[in-house]
Structure 1
Amino acid sequence: MNKPYVIGIAGSSGSGKTFFLKRFLDHFRPDQITLISQDDYYIPANTKTKEENRLYNFDLPSAINRKSFFHDIKQLFSGHTVYRKEYTFNNPRTIPKMLEIKPAPILVVEGLFIFHYEEVNELLDYRIFLDAAESVALERRLRRDLIERGYDHDDVIYKWVNHVIPAYEQYLVPFKSKCDLVIINNANDPKIIDDAAREISTGLKPA
């Protein structure tokens, strides 16, 4: 199998990255594109107590099984299918699925640290950065974590101030100016995301 065309997508928490990914992938057939997400490589923290989990910083490069993440990307490069248990952010109400990640001509790699990890960054052919104003991003983060993941409000705020923002500034912002495309998503307008996804996907589809 020839080397896939690799798109790296990273963004601040609450930037609309998940929505963009869904819209982008919808422009392709399953055999044309595949996605590997850094989130599914978190080092398990479900053995920790509630207080330890509150203090444990998931927004550090060391919270990810970096070696395994890179290994599986290279497996896709070699034409091998990757099997990985979905990470559910320690939500006891969610049963993790076994993900089957098949190789394809276009590989999307997404995650907070994909530009920071040199071995991953050097594999990328195109880099997309999604961003949003801090107040907008925090509102989205609260809505997601309180409703979808069942987190406590105080925990969300604590992690935002002490973990999320410092990680964003240290591991993501320095790469913003080096990305091929920066999408500012403050308006909660799906058209902004749809238009960007359509434009990029049109340029990648075979004639």
Structure 2
Amino acid sequence: MKKPIFIGISGGSGSGKTTIVNRIYSEVPEKSICIIEHDAYYKDQSELTYEQRCKTNYDHPFAFDTDLFVEHIKKLKDGETIDKPIYDYEIHNRKKENVMVEPKEIIIVEGLLVFYEERIRDLLDIKIFVDTDADIRIMRRIMRDMKERGRTLDSIISQYVDTVRPAHEQFIEPSKKYADIIVTEGGNNLVAVDLMVTKIKSLLYKNQ
């Protein structure tokens, strides 16, 4: 296998990043692709109480163990296997277990801040930014967090106003300028997604 191709996918919370990642993943042979999410690399907060962990600003760069994230990307680039952390959103902390990830020909690097961090940007071969209107993003976030993360509506709205929106304006939106491709309306833009899948399949074929 040649050096892996790293595809970065970024965008605001609820923009449709996961939909695009899943579509790409479903169109590429499983043996040839893997995903590492920046969200899995939130810092371990075992020294904090649950109440203290709830107050962490999870949309700020300081919330992430980016050193470990970069280290793992470099290991995958060098053909090494990594132990990716698992993050539990209900307890706001890492689980004790990890998941083993082997290097593949296509490696998707997904997260809110993967273009904001220069150390991550420099390791990516293709950068895709998912650009979706704020009203759609907040509705998607509400539905996801209530259904999948056991959150209340009040807590979601409070977090959005206090940290999510300011962080988006300060860190995420400005990082759009680093993208090679900008996809509007997330996974609903079927034409753009199909073009990306075709390009990735072409790269995979050339890399074999």
Matches within 5 A, 1:16-31: 16-31=16-31
Q: How far off is 1:51 after superposition?
A: 4.2
Q: In 2, are the aligned partners of 1:23 and 1:193 still within 8 Å (CA)?
A: no
Note if contact 1:87-1:96 (Cα within 8 Å) is conserved in structure 2: no
Q: Partners of 1:155 and 1:193 in 2: how far apart?
A: 34
Shift in Å, 1:54: 3.8
- Unaligned segments of structure 1, at least 5 residues: none
Deviation at 1:201, TM superposition (A): 2.7
d(CA) in 2 for partners of 1:119, 1:90: 29
The equivalent of 1:172 in structure 2 is 172
Which letter does structure 1 place at the counterpart of 2:197? R
Is 164-173 or 38-47 further displaced after alignment?
Answer: 38-47
Q: 1:30 offset after TM fit, Å?
A: 2.3
Q: CA deviation at 1:97?
A: 6.3
Residues 47/21 of structure 1: CA separation in 2 closer, same or farther (3 Å cut): same
Aligned to 2:80: 80
Structure 1 pair 84–169 and aligned structure 2 pair: CA distance change class (3 A):
same
- Residue 132 of structure 1 deviates from its aligned partner by 1.1
Structure 2 CA distance, aligned partners of 1:40 and 1:154?
A: 25
**Structure 2: any 5+ residue segments left out of the alignment?**
none
One-letter amino acid of the structure 1 residue matched with residue 38 of structure 2: Q
**Alignment coverage as a number of residue pairs:** 204
Query: Once the two structures are aligned, what percentage of the paired residues are identical?
Result: 32
Residue 35, structure 1, aligned to residue 35, structure 2: yes
SS of residue in 2 equivalent to 1:154: helix
In 2, the alpha carbon distance for the partners of 1:172 and 1:63 equals 14
Map of 1:136 onto structure 2: 136
- Cα deviation 1:50-78 (Å, max 9, x = unaligned): 54344320111110111111111111111
Q: Structure 2: how far apart are the matches of 1:50 and 1:169? A: 28
User: As a proportion of its length, which structure holds more helix?
Assistant: 2
Offset at residue 161 of structure 1 (A): 1.0
Task: Give 3-state SS (helix, strand or coil) of 1:130's partner.
Answer: strand
Shift of residue 32 of structure 1? 1.5
TM-score of the pair, normalised by structure 1? 0.87
CA gap of 1:49–1:154, structure 2 versus 1, over 3 A, is farther
CA contact (8 A) 1:43 1:64 kept: yes
The change in CA–CA distance for 1:44 and 1:192 in structure 2 (over 3 A counts) is farther
Q: Spell out, residue by residue over 1:136-176, the C-alpha distance to the aligned partner (whole angstroms, 9 max, x if none).
A: 11110000001111012111111111111111112121121
What's the CA shift string for 1:112-153, capped at 9, x where partnerless? Answer: 111121111111111000121111111100000011110121
Question: Is the Cα contact below 8 Å between 2:6 and 2:108 reproduced in 1?
Answer: yes
Residues 86 and 99, structure 1, Cα contact 8 Å, conserved in 2: yes
Aligned counterpart, 1:198: 197
For 1:117, the aligned partner's letter is E
User: Which residue of 1 is the match for residue 5 of structure 2?
Assistant: 5
Cα shift readout 1:74-112 (whole Å, capped 9, x = no counterpart): 1111111111232121359xx886422110122211111
Match of 2:59, SS state, is coil
Deviation of the 1:11 alpha carbon: 1.1
TM value normalised by structure 2: 0.87
